């Protein structure tokens, strides 16, 4: 018979886990706020750092974007994964968000090219390198932390909040963009100095997250591995799991390509291919992201009941079959309501991946290499298939064959589907409590 005391203790435990889940995942909000803010406000601050009159600086602009997006993320996945597995999840989570703060602050205060010459884009490059490290490291460590603080029966539900906060970062950036564009500043003020405001906000958000994480409790799983004197954070140990590392790559490829398509690229696609104006486009994307946020815990909770594999297969099958018709129909749609419904339709299957991908990967590895196992192959795969999705789409568009990208995305999702069908369901075959 359940007593009042038992109920009170259960409620206290739930509150404690919810608090830890929020603190553990809040870095994703800051990370994606910074990512989206940089993209959204680039139009305003680019002339301050990259004057068209200097070809060397123009080339540096391209190099900065390449280095931050593609080179630093895997390095960040290794660095922060090593710190998390060797010295604790708390230290890695705190340092990653401090790096985010530093990167945003550098962008916010760096003088323009007119004031300090080529030092301005070099400072921007440094900021992007720091943010790239943080971007690569945050995912694996936060996924590991969320999986370890959740109770065994609700790991899918709690871990889904990684993408709730991640999408929340994009929503926050869009709100800031709309307010600055339409309420507080003129176009001239945004180009002159107003573009610095979102980066100041990003730095403040990171400070808030760092302060919260300072008092974060270490996970029981890490403490148990530490007490047993098990070697942690070793790449040599990590490579004892080649099948699992390849599984993470296969799991991630189709999902990350779909995620970047229906978040980052949608803003451009709706503007250029559909033809909606800037404000309408931003509002439509904002509303679809709210819908996507609501789906994450629903799907995460469902995975705790029916398993992870059915949701992944659902994403793979429907994503393979529905991506082409959704994007081609959207291309000819003129109504923002139709565009909204079509993107929401895409999110119905994409959430089958986003809501549970973190916990599926965490359940593949033992405690002592979990953050490395999740973070490194994920960062590599996102760099190859996720971050490049908008560029590939625009390249096909420039060739006059935009529909090639629709086939490309469907094909990547299908390849991941082959992995989903043949893998074991990690809910029933988890090694969460194993130390090696």
Given a cut of 60, is residue 362 above it in pLDDT?
yes
pLDDT confidence tier of residue 54, bands split at 50, 70 and 90 = low
Do the domain assignments include residue 11?
Answer: no
CA 261 distance to own-chain centroid? 13
Q: Output 236 or 243, whichever has higher pLDDT.
A: 243
Given a cut of 70, is residue 432 above it in pLDDT?
no
Mean pLDDT of 321-333: 91
Residues 386 and 256: beta-carbon distance below 8 Å: yes
Residues 100 and 27: beta-carbon distance below 8 Å: yes
Mean pLDDT of 61-71: 60
Q: Output 423 or 426, whichever has higher pLDDT.
A: 423
Best-predicted range by mean pLDDT (30-39, 48-57, 175-184): 175-184
Q: Per the structure block, which two tokens stand in for 169?
A: 């970062």
54 torsion bin: left (phi>0), alpha (psi -120 to 50), beta (else): beta
Residues 45 and 103: beta-carbon distance below 8 Å: no
Give percent above pLDDT 70 in the chain: 90
Mean pLDDT of 303-313: 92
pLDDT confidence tier of residue 66, bands split at 50, 70 and 90 = low
**pTM of the shown model:** 0.85
Residues 294 and 392: beta-carbon distance below 8 Å: no
Do the domain assignments include residue 96?
Answer: yes
Residue-level pLDDT at 177: 86
pLDDT confidence tier of residue 163, bands split at 50, 70 and 90 = confident
Given a cut of 70, is residue 207 above it in pLDDT?
yes
Given a cut of 90, is residue 162 above it in pLDDT?
no
Do the domain assignments include residue 2?
Answer: no
Given a cut of 80, is residue 157 above it in pLDDT?
yes
pLDDT confidence tier of residue 310, bands split at 50, 70 and 90 = very high
Given a cut of 90, is residue 414 above it in pLDDT?
yes
Count of CB atoms situated within 10 Å of the CB of 422: 9
Please give the Cα distance from 355 to 136 (Å, whole number): 19
Given a cut of 60, is residue 413 above it in pLDDT?
yes
Residue-level pLDDT at 425: 83
Cα dist from 173 to 129, 313, 383, whole Å: 20, 32, 22
Do the domain assignments include residue 333?
Answer: yes
Residue-level pLDDT at 306: 92
Cα dist from 8 to 3, 12, 15, 18, 321, whole Å: 9, 6, 11, 15, 48
Q: What is the CATH number of the domain that holds 155?
A: 1.20.1250.20
Q: Read off the DSSP letter of residue 233.
A: S
Residue-level pLDDT at 67: 53
Given a cut of 70, is residue 316 above it in pLDDT?
yes
Do the domain assignments include residue 201?
Answer: yes
Please give the Cα distance from 410 to 221 (Å, whole number): 38
pLDDT confidence tier of residue 311, bands split at 50, 70 and 90 = very high
Mean pLDDT of 407-428: 91
pLDDT confidence tier of residue 205, bands split at 50, 70 and 90 = confident
Q: Per the structure block, which two tokens stand in for 142?
A: 């936060």
Give percent above pLDDT 90 in the chain: 23
Least Cα distance to 174 among 23, 33, 372 occurs for: 33
Do the domain assignments include residue 269?
Answer: yes
Give residue-wise pLDDT tens across range 101-148. 888 899 889 888 888 888 888 888 888 888 888 888 888 888 888 888
Residues 6+ apart with CB under 8 A from 382: 73, 252, 256
Please give the Cα distance from 268 to 328 (Å, whole number): 15
Q: Read off the DSSP letter of residue 218.
A: P
Residue-level pLDDT at 128: 84
State the SS3 of 75-138: HHHHHHHHHHHHHCHHHHHHHHHHHHHHHHHHHHHCCCHHHHCCHHHHHHHHHHHHHHHHHHHH
Do the domain assignments include residue 414?
Answer: yes
Instruction: Share the mean pLDDT of the chain.
Output: 83
Least Cα distance to 106 among 125, 89, 92 occurs for: 125
Do the domain assignments include residue 145?
Answer: yes
**H or E element in which residue 65 lies:** helix 55-66
Please give the Cα distance from 412 to 421 (Å, whole number): 15
Q: Per the structure block, which two tokens stand in for 279?
A: 């404000």
Give residue-wise pLDDT tens across range 217-235. 777 787 887 787 767 777 8
Give residue-wise pLDDT tens across range 244-301. 999 999 999 999 999 988 988 888 788 877 778 878 888 898 999 999 999 999 999 9
Residue-level pLDDT at 410: 95
Residue-level pLDDT at 247: 92
Structural domain of 283: 16-422
pLDDT confidence tier of residue 19, bands split at 50, 70 and 90 = confident
Residue-level pLDDT at 297: 92
Count: domains in the chain: 1
């Amino acid at each position: 018979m359940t007593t009042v005391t038992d109920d009170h203790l259960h409620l206290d435990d739930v509150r404690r886990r919810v608090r830890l889940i929020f603190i553990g995942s809040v870095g994703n909000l800051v990370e994606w706020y910074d990512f989206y803010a940089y993209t959204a406000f680039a139009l305003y601050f680019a002339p301050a750092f990259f004057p068209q009159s200097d070809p060397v600086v123009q080339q540096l602009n391209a190099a900065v974007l390449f280095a931050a997006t593609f080179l630093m993320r895997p390095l960040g996945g290794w660095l922060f994964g090593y710190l998390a597995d060797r010295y604790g999840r708390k230290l890695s989570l705190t340092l990653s968000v401090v790096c985010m703060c530093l990167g945003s602050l550098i962008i916010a205060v760096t003088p323009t090219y007119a004031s300090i010459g080529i030092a301005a884009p070099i400072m921007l490059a440094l900021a992007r390198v720091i943010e790239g490290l943080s971007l690569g490291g945050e995912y694996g460590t936060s996924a590991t932390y969320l999986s370890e603080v959740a109770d065994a029966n609700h790991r899918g539900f709690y871990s889904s909040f990684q993408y709730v906060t991640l999408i929340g970062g994009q929503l926050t950036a869009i709100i800031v963009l709309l307010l600055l564009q339409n309420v507080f500043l003129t176009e001239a003020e945004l180009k002159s100095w107003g573009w610095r405001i979102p980066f100041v906000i990003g730095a403040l958000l990171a400070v808030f997250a760092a302060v919260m994480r300072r008092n974060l409790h270490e996970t029981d799983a890490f403490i148990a591995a530490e007490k047993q004197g098990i070697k942690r954070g070793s790449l040599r140990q990590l490579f004892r799991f080649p099948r699992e590392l390849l599984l993470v790559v296969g799991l991630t490829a189709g999902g990350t390509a779909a995620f970047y398509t229906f978040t980052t690229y949608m803003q451009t696609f709706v503007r250029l291919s559909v033809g909606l104006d800037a404000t309408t486009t931003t509002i439509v994307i904002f509303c679809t992201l709210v819908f996507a946020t609501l789906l994450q815990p629903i799907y995460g909770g469902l995975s705790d009941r029916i398993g992870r594999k059915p949701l992944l297969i659902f994403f793979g099958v429907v994503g393979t079959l529905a991506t082409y018709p959704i994007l081609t129909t959207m291309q000819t749609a003129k109504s923002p309501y139709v565009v909204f419904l079509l993107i929401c339709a895409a999110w119905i299957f994409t959430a089958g991946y986003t809501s549970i991908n973190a916990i599926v990967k965490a359940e593949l590895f033992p405690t002592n290499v979990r953050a490395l196992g999740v973070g490194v192959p994920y960062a590599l795969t996102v760099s190859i298939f996720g971050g490049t999705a908008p560029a590939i789409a625009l390249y096909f568009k420039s060739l006059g064959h935009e529909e090639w990208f629709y086939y490309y995305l469907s094909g990547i999702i299908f390849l991941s589907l082959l992995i989903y069908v043949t893998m074991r369901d990690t809910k029933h075959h988890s090694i969460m409590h194993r130390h090696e």
